[in-house]
Structure 1
Amino acid sequence: MSPAFVITGLLWLSMAGLAYALARRAAYWRVGRATPAGAFGVANLFTIPKRYFVDLHHVVARDPYIAKTHVATAGGAIAALALVFVNYGLAIYSPWLDKLIGVAAVTMLIGAVFVWRRRRDQRAMPARLSRGPWNTLPWLLGSFALGLTLLAVVPSAAASGFVAVIIAALIAIGAFAMTVGAARGGPMKHALAGLLHLAFHPRQERFRAGAGQTDQPGAVPPTALKMPELDAREYGVGKPVEFRWNQLLSFDACVQCGKCEAACPAFAAGQPLNPKKLIQDLVTGMVGGTDAAYAGSPTPGIALGKHGGQPELPIVSGLIEADTLWSCTTCRACVQECPMLIEHVDAIVDMRRNRTLTEGDLPGKAPEVLANLRETGSAGGYDIAARYDWAVDLNARIAERGKPVDVLLVAGEGAFDMRYQRTLRALVKVLNRAGIDYAVLGPNETDTGDVARRLGDEATFQRMAKRLIATLDGLNFKRIVTADPHVMHSLRNEYRALGTRYTVQHHTSLLAELVQSGKLSPKASAALADKRITYHDPCYLGRYNGETEAPRRALKSIGIKVVEMERHGMRGRCCGGGGGAPLTDIPGKARIPDLRMADAREVGAEIVAVGCPNCTAMLEGVVGPRPEVLDVAELVAAALE
């Protein structure tokens, strides 16, 4: 039998294997809940090329080595498979197509060699990478590529008998890993699930140009949590089957690269959270079994082999410990780094909602804070009429019905804290100096509900949001300014699902704008300008809202040269203050703010500039010798004196 007929047979056998793999994995995804009617259709499949070559590779390209490797391996494989299908599936048997198959196969082989090279030295191999089956993957891919290369270069006369068997065996080994191996949950399932995940991603808004800028009030921006239908008894996720089917699909797309693990502040602090392991646990719960075969870094403090689950069994604590869910700061560093665009934070909040809304099971001070929000409108249980007592001597006008104002200043929950009041006072002094027509929200300001939502109490969030919206809608203003990124994110993004559309600006953006327009001419003193100053990016300003340059422009405008920490901008390290983490207070081997302050010490910083009250509180809580922590508004105000 000629090698051509053998390859044709292998091709159609592989196609059958691919169909089997798809059917097998799809059976697991289908146990999940349905998506809203009409949310997805066949047309979504046509979005894959753009999302693969643009959106996905935009993330992969941050690591040049693996980006080039992925282009060679995946690109070579796709091209080779397409050409094999044309030449052998359609029985063309063209020598010229064989040559093209050879070029694609060599490209894939080179990529497989680079994959192997990174894993060759186990001691030098990044700890974030999974071992086990992933270490054999380069050999399987290389086998497939080598077989196709030999098919293209070995003359037809020589490609018979034993040589033909060798070629067929090499191709078959790789094809088996890509089909049946994927069906069984092997490494190559990420390729199959990953492509479909791009088409049916739970957050389609991530791929829409200008998704965060749309004027549609109800449009959900890419970083806003989606609003569940409480009236339809959507109370979060307590079992794997309660995830939507496309969320289960997204978990299967995980390539176990561990970039989420390396970025996670809770994992770095030794708290019981590893986002990569979390996603793999959810895959285990989807298909049934235990975590004994997991080949990556374990969750800190939790041994492998002691947890397992089934689609219909509770996730906590058979599959995942409750402390794992409460360790998350919702900083989105994992989502930012994930090359497969998986939404870890959405999954965690979904599971938190179930713990909060159905079980009432929250650790630490979280129950007390939620009770305070419901009863007083303040997380600390304060009299909300006292929220602006710090401004009584600053001639800050209080917003009133029927009296228009350009800027409405919303302070947020931190206004009850004496340290944050220093920031607010500095900001108001700057506004007064610039002659801005502003007013503070006043005694009717209630909490935005951000903390309640991150803790899973969606009911309290919606109640708080509607209450604050009613207050805001009774006033006449052009834009809202706040020094709290969490307040900004709620008002700007998350309230849209309730039908609102506010123009909301972070105070550092306003400060930079005032200097640029000439309304302010600050100049730092020589003593301040000579200090080494670094800037810490708040997660809810940077990753959630994409604002990293305005604070730096504001600092630069007063003559300060920012010394950057290694992790800054969209990849900055979290301070540990988001997601209700300070309230749940899950112990670890270190504290997240201590790690961040160590970053500042590494660059010799004498001052850490911040733009968030949570960051200020967390970083100032670091004990021992450390840089001074000052808000950007404080530095600008000082430069005006």
Structure 2
Amino acid sequence: MLNVLLPILLFAALALAVLGAVRRMALWRRGRPSKVDLLGGLLAMPRRYMVDLHHVVARDKYMANTHVATAGGFVLAAVLAILVHGFGLHNRLLGYALLVATVVMFIGALFVFKRRLNPPSRLSKGPWMRLPKGLLVFSLSFFILTLPVAGLLPASAGGWVLAALLAIGVAWGVSELFLGMTWGGPMKHAFAGALHLAWHRRAERFGGGRSTGLKALNLDDRSAPLGVEKPKDFTWNQLLGFDACVQCGKCEAACPAFAAGQPLNPKKLIQDMVVGLAGGTDAHFAGSPYPGKPIGEHAGNPHQPIVNGLVDADTLWSCTTCRACVEECPMMIEHVDAIVDMRRFLTLEKGATPNNGAQVLDNLIATDNPGGFAPGGRMNWAADLNLDVMRDKPSVDVLFWVGDGAFDMRNQRTLRAFVKVLKAAKINFAVLGLEERDSGDVARRLGDEATFQALAKRNIQTLASYQFQRIVTCDPHSFHVLKNEYSALGGNYHVQHHSTYLAELLTAGQVNVSADTGGSVTYHDPCYLGRYNGEYEAPRAVLRALGLEVKEMQRSGFRSRCCGGGGGAPITDIPGKQRIPDMRMDDIRETGAERVAVGCPQCTAMLEGVVEPRPLVKDIAELVADALIEPAAPVKTPQRAALEVTA
């Protein structure tokens, strides 16, 4: 009986799986075109899976080992099951190999089952609760079926009752894994995930690369959509990426907006896009809702506007673009890209930027700075510093990009401190002065691609007139845009954050500093310096060079909690249950440090906005400037004094 039934079950399941795969690919193809290397991506996929994906998964050792055993065992068991029981290749060696594969898979499934006994709140429940059962039934059924093939049981063992039970078990396990892999069950992420890795919209992320700059819109193509209004406006490989979500909730646990009670849950956002891909409602979502928004009230389809259908606008505007969700995602999904794409439509097509967003964008157009300050006041902070300006000194070693902190009295202290260090190190530097414009970071994150590109092109045209070896800035947002996003518009520069440059100066002995005796300090990693650009060590090297005791926060490095100041979040100002900077200050207080070192004007503003008592907030440049050892003044002899008077 089983010799007849097994091949039928296996090949029927395979046929249905192929049909399901065709169906899912048809759903993805509703998206806009996107150029990918189809064959090259498929060939690169195994390495991307084994190396890049597992580099992220390996942060959780329990799940890393579980995933290796379960996924590896399943792939091997499925292939061998088709050979042995589908094609009837009853070879003893193949039988033993299949037994080993099913045992490995069974052990992995036990760990999955254990995790699902009392799952953390971030994990989706619902259909995912039956996943370990399907894995266990599949592995156990094929283990028992393969014992006679391996010669460990007589071929006639078991009888009709066992055969019927095994047939039921095989049907259950196979349908869950083969059919669900492509038809929409919990294992769907395996099929979509593999292809997502092959045809990822940011292929440069793999092999140790980094890709964080937003993709530019072609504003010259009048037929191209300005952002994403409907699910079908995403590119096809973005839709594929949404389908790869495993609903592990790591993005949810890392999201500062979700923790603050704002109406954003990055996991649910991706699942809402999946609902929109096929059409339906969110009523069957079995995870955490958007804070303050009950499940079951949103619906949509590929041809229907996303906002006020699948999601509410304030969900999109809650995002700080900190990339904590992207950094944690084991499937390497690009949540921030999707959010900004949808913001672009709201801003460019609807003019629906909330709260102070419209005013800020108008200021950028009228005055080239988000605060609406008179452009002629850009250099007031340096009136007594006698700074060189590029138009008077067109060739320098360092172009100091001041940024819009020039209009903020608190950040002016940071700028003046950095200038003091540059002068102490005798660096040949200059500023653009009144020729400098806003970098465009805020405009781009708020979705105003047109204003961003206008600002960027003007800055690029200005920079083309001068010669410099590098650009150095105290603002990670300007640093990121200049380094990673101007290149698409023709601006390619060597850009450094001031912490990196300060570390170089200290290492080279170009500045002399005294050991700090002010006690301990903790360092807050800015999102746009850390997660966006991978710079974690240089700021800490500077602090160590000052002789400071650095006390690390629990959430530091690539897992640093956002201050809440990025992505235009302070401008759109979506309310929650608590403020993100208050949560970050709690992290800081837990270290017991007297001071918190920062390297970003946004972080400074957000953390200093927390009510006292709290630790003192100091930029790294200020700490270095305070520790500078001034060169000793020459001793004045009567003869030298006479010479000075004569001169």
Output the amino acid matched with 2:50: F
1:79 equivalent in structure 2: 76
CA positional deviation for 1:459:
0.5
Contact 1:278/1:320, CA 8 A, preserved across alignment: yes
Q: Partners in 1 of 2:24 and 2:492 — Cα distance?
A: 41
Contact 1:144/1:173, CA 8 A, preserved across alignment: yes
1:564 equivalent in structure 2: 552
CA positional deviation for 1:604:
1.1
CA positional deviation for 1:502:
0.2
Tell me, yes or no, if structure 1 residue 128 matches structure 2 residue 122: yes
- After superposition, the C-alpha distances for 1:355-384 in whole angstroms (9 at most, x for unaligned) are 011100011111001001111111111122
Aligned pairs (5 A) from 1:105-144: 105-121=102-118, 125-144=119-138
Tell me, yes or no, if structure 1 residue 103 matches structure 2 residue 103: no
Aligned pairs (5 A) from 1:241-640: 241-400=232-391, 403-526=394-517, 528=518, 531-640=519-628
Q: Partners in 1 of 2:103 and 2:562 — Cα distance?
A: 43
Q: Partners in 1 of 2:388 and 2:39 — Cα distance?
A: 56
Q: Partners in 1 of 2:90 and 2:13 — Cα distance?
A: 18
Aligned pairs (5 A) from 1:151-190: 151-153=145-147, 155=153, 156-190=155-189
2:15 equivalent in structure 1: 16
Output the amino acid matched with 2:267: K
Output the amino acid matched with 1:153: L
Q: Partners in 2 of 1:223 and 1:160 — Cα distance?
A: 60
CA positional deviation for 1:521:
2.3
CA positional deviation for 1:402:
6.0
CA positional deviation for 1:525:
3.4
Task: Tell me which stretches of 4 or more aligned residues in structure 1 moved more than 6 Å.
Answer: none
CA positional deviation for 1:532:
2.4
Q: In the alignment, which of 61, 64, 74 is matched to residue 61 of structure 2?
A: 64
Contact 1:401/1:474, CA 8 A, preserved across alignment: no
Q: In the alignment, which of 146, 149, 153 is matched to residue 143 of structure 2?
A: 149
Output the amino acid matched with 1:604: G
Q: Partners in 1 of 2:426 and 2:463 — Cα distance?
A: 23
State the number of aligned residues.
622
- After superposition, the C-alpha distances for 1:21-55 in whole angstroms (9 at most, x for unaligned) are 2012112111111114xx33233211110010011
Q: Partners in 1 of 2:391 and 2:561 — Cα distance?
A: 40
Larger Rg: 2
1:225 equivalent in structure 2: 214
CA positional deviation for 1:184:
4.1
Q: Partners in 1 of 2:608 and 2:201 — Cα distance?
A: 38
Output the amino acid matched with 1:99: Y
1:215 equivalent in structure 2: none
Contact 2:263/2:314, CA 8 A, preserved across alignment: yes
CA positional deviation for 1:159:
4.6
Gapped regions of structure 2 (runs ≥ 5):
630-647
- After superposition, the C-alpha distances for 1:560-607 in whole angstroms (9 at most, x for unaligned) are 121000111111110000000000000000000001000001111211
Contact 1:407/1:479, CA 8 A, preserved across alignment: yes
Aligned sequence identity (%): 58
Q: Partners in 1 of 2:430 and 2:561 — Cα distance?
A: 34
Contact 2:530/2:557, CA 8 A, preserved across alignment: yes
Tell me, yes or no, if structure 1 residue 43 matches structure 2 residue 40: yes
* Stretch of structure 1 that moved more, 150-159 or 275-284: 150-159
Output the amino acid matched with 2:230: K
Q: Partners in 2 of 1:147 and 1:17 — Cα distance?
A: 20
CA positional deviation for 1:85:
2.7
1:218 equivalent in structure 2: none
Contact 1:266/1:327, CA 8 A, preserved across alignment: yes
Output the amino acid matched with 1:41: L
Gapped regions of structure 1 (runs ≥ 5):
213-221
Contact 2:460/2:490, CA 8 A, preserved across alignment: no
- Secondary structure of 1:375's counterpart equals helix
Contact 1:291/1:304, CA 8 A, preserved across alignment: yes
CA positional deviation for 1:415:
1.4
Contact 2:48/2:207, CA 8 A, preserved across alignment: no
Q: Partners in 2 of 1:368 and 1:305 — Cα distance?
A: 35
Cα root mean square deviation, aligned: 1.3
2:636 equivalent in structure 1: none
- Secondary structure of 2:277's counterpart equals helix
Output the amino acid matched with 1:382: F
1:202 equivalent in structure 2: 201
